[in-house]
Amino acid sequence: MSVIFGLAAAVAVVAALGVVVAQRTLYSALALVANMVALAVLFLTLDAQFLAAVQIIVYAGAVMVLFVFIIALLSPGAQERLHPLEARVLIGGLAAVAFTVVVARLTLNGVSVAASGRFYGRLGPFAPVLVDRHGQVQTLGEQLFTTFLLPFELSSLLLLVAAVGAVYLSRRRRAS
């Protein structure tokens, strides 16, 4: 329903603005959490329930919790107010606009609308009818382990590298 889409999108945009504009760093992080929750609602409107749940569990519920931890522990000072005509504000604004254009172009190009009004991506063998037939989680799981096996393994390797790096960097150094 477009009402729900409108609400969720509005919250997402306001929260995103809040991330940039908020005076205290912790409020910035919390605004980002609100943004992610709004995105999860948007995923719901697109029938991607699993993705919505995982978005909240992983992003809003784990990654952002650690962000909030670090901010609260290290307590960086409050941000100075940004004057609207400062150089970095202008450059940042331009970059945001450019990014929006690029993303819009990519999504609009890559997405087709079937006669029934549903969207699907360009990647071929996957089709929404699979979701209706088998269920979301099952379809996602199947695709991950068959069509997209290589990217899946590579991303898990990437995560492993990150974890190993973190452990290595935080090891206790012997007194020399």
Residues that bind other proteins (CB under 8 A): 1, 4, 26, 30, 33, 37, 40-41, 44-45, 47, 49-50, 53-54, 56-57, 60-62, 65, 68-69, 72-73, 135-137
Which stretches within the chain are classed as H helix?
2-21, 25-45, 49-54, 64-74, 87-110, 128-134, 136-145, 149-169
User: Closest approach of Cβ 171 to other proteins, in Å?
Assistant: 17
Distance CA 73, CA 25 (A): 12
Is the CB of 61 or the CB of 128 nearer to other proteins?
61
Is the CB of 28 or the CB of 136 nearer to other proteins?
136
> What is the rounded (10 degree) CA torsion for 99, 104, 110, 116?
160
Is the CB of 69 or the CB of 99 nearer to other proteins?
69
User: Closest approach of Cβ 111 to other proteins, in Å?
Assistant: 20
